[in-house]
Amino acid sequence: MTRLGDSVKRATALLTQDLSSAATVRELLTETSARRYLDLSDLPPAEQAELVAAGAVNILPSAESLTERIDAARAEGRGLHVKLGIDPTGSDVHIGHAVPMIVLSRFQRMGHDVTLIIGDITARIGDPSGRSTERPPLTDEDIARNLAGYREQVRPFFDFDRVRFRHNSEWLAGITLPRLIGILSQVSASALLQREDFRTRLEAGHGLSMSELIYPVAMAIDSAEIECDVELGGVDQLLNLQMGRRVMEIYGQRPQLVVTMPLIEGTDGSGAKMSKSKGNYIGLSASADDLFGKAMSIPDRLMDPWLRSLTEWTDAEVMLTTQRIADGTLHPMDLKRVLAGEIVAALYDVDTAMAAREAFAAQFSRRSFTEVEALPEVSLAAHGAEAVTAVLTGVLGFAASASAARRLAKQNGLRLVVEEAGGQRTEVLAEGDALRPLAEIVAERAGGAPGGVYLKAGRKLARVAS
């Protein structure tokens, strides 16, 4: 059995146990966290491809092609040459940026050669992917500062001491106009203009600069210059990565394989990808308690994709927990605490993750909310006849609209917390409950409770007064 197989066997045994137990969770986090450094070189080619595919959206042309390429490289006594391009366009890094680094780390630990391309030339153009306007170019100082911040923040997910760094100015700065024209003459303009972001801007009457059109070709030249076997990128980079295959053909080389990773959805559950501008992100430089708390705020439906993209769990382990939730042997909240612990353990360590877990429990589970000062309050006498959605939007301001409040309930994010003699009881309010009068819900779910009653929407909390 492989080293990963042994680890999965141990973790699977733990995943069948009581995941509300701190002792079990500590043992599980210790096992899965150790995988971030596990030597995977004993995996056969097919299992390597399977492990890469587990964290990918696309493998082009196919996962079978990746297996064949790994097998052929082994026969030549070498690893694959794997590339990830970085355009250091910002200094703030969130957990979504860790996704490609996790997959890249797997390649590294499987014995392949990894090169990070620093786009100091292409950053001056700015990647137009998914943007409605042209991105402002960066200066050399911007690039150096952003790169330093990026490396420091994603370091827990990747071993930077075992990687080659190349700046694409090494070849792009010296490319001659005849050479560039020769490449561009073999690239279809329609292939560049099929991008949805370009079409949207043109249909809206906005222009495109020539530098934006050339960006995918410049990025593709990087792959040809280093003779890449596999290139990684977000799923939004698919057309750019495919251009790499085309330009490598122009160079007379065997086209690279393409591996795309998902874009992590933000914490607000709106469907938008994680980004600083939307405020739905978890920064890699956040405190352990903040990391844990924000991870606990995500809708239940995000646990599956987050576990697949942000942890070293295998598909089989994720499916095991999904099945346990479906058959009622695992509470979603217990699994979410494990996920939050995985994120903290990756950026700090298991001890810190367990401390954050304990702190969260003390703040939101065991502590009486009557001890919390300055909570907003809603009066049943004044607003009890109003629907819960109306209370959340018009009285408390916990939701932007009634539809947003209903969506929160649909995602199991709306709760009534009832304090009783033995502790707290949490009642999950369904979407239908959100349309009913607040007083009716309180009477039905918390009638005669000796302690306080609280309305919880996501991480926002309000006291319900009589």
pLDDT confidence of residue 276: 77
> What is the rounded CA–CA span in Å between residue 267 and residue 339?
13
pLDDT confidence of residue 449: 59
Strand partners, 167: 118
> What is the rounded CA–CA span in Å between residue 113 and residue 413?
44
Which residue bears the tokens 């009716």?
Answer: 440
Per-residue pLDDT of 398-442, as tens digits, reads 888 888 888 888 877 788 888 776 566 778 888 888 889 888 888
> What is the rounded CA–CA span in Å between residue 188 and residue 195?
13
| Closest to 103 measured CA to CA, from 165, 57, 161 | 57
Please give the span between the terminal C-alpha atoms of the chain, in angstroms, as a whole number. 63
Would you tell me the crossing angle of helices 3-15 and 22-34 to the nearest 10 degrees?
Answer: 160
Task: Categorize the per-residue pLDDT at 371 as very low, low, confident or very high, splitting at 50, 70 and 90.
Answer: very low
pLDDT confidence of residue 127: 52
Instruction: Write the burial class of residue 456 (CB in 10 Å: 0-12 exposed, 13-18 middle, 19+ buried).
Output: buried
Beta strand spans in 164-218 (E): 164-167
Range with the poorest average pLDDT among 53-67, 237-251, 421-435: 421-435
Per-residue pLDDT of 129-150, as tens digits, reads 544 444 556 677 777 777 777 7
* pLDDT higher than 70, residue 157: yes
More confident residue, 59 or 212: 59
Q: What is the pTM of this model?
A: 0.74
pLDDT confidence of residue 57: 93
Task: Categorize the per-residue pLDDT at 364 as very low, low, confident or very high, splitting at 50, 70 and 90.
Answer: low
Six-digit token string for 203: 């249909």
CA angle 200, 125, 161 (to 5 degrees): 120
pLDDT confidence of residue 432: 87
> What is the rounded CA–CA span in Å between residue 105 and residue 160?
10
pLDDT confidence of residue 451: 62
Mapping DSSP to helix (H, G, I), strand (E, B) and coil, where does residue 176 land?
coil
Mapping DSSP to helix (H, G, I), strand (E, B) and coil, where does residue 233 land?
strand
pLDDT confidence of residue 130: 46
- What mean pLDDT is predicted for residues 82-89? 81
- What mean pLDDT is predicted for residues 80-109? 86
- What mean pLDDT is predicted for residues 335-344? 96
pLDDT confidence of residue 443: 85
Per-residue pLDDT of 160-169, as tens digits, reads 888 898 989 9
What percent helix, strand, coil does the chain show, rounded to 5?
55, 15, 35
* Rg (the chain; Cα; Å): 25
Domains and CATH numbers, the chain: 1-39+266-366 (1.10.240.10), 56-261 (3.40.50.620), 371-465 (3.10.290.10)
* pLDDT higher than 90, residue 45: yes
- What mean pLDDT is predicted for residues 209-217? 82
pLDDT confidence of residue 374: 58
Range with the poorest average pLDDT among 169-183, 305-319, 409-423: 409-423
Percent of the chain with pLDDT over 90: 45
* pLDDT higher than 90, residue 259: yes
Concatenated DSSP letters for 36-49?
GG---TTS-HHHHH
Mapping DSSP to helix (H, G, I), strand (E, B) and coil, where does residue 216 land?
helix
Judge whether 27 and 209 are in contact, CB under 8 Å: no
Per-residue pLDDT of 269-305, as tens digits, reads 778 888 877 778 888 888 999 899 989 888 889 999 9
Task: Categorize the per-residue pLDDT at 125 as very low, low, confident or very high, splitting at 50, 70 and 90.
Answer: low
| Closest to 90 measured CA to CA, from 142, 19, 156 | 142
Per-residue pLDDT of 19-29, as tens digits, reads 999 999 999 99
> What is the rounded CA–CA span in Å between residue 121 and residue 172?
7
pLDDT confidence of residue 92: 65
| H-helix or E-strand spanning residue 114 | strand 113-118
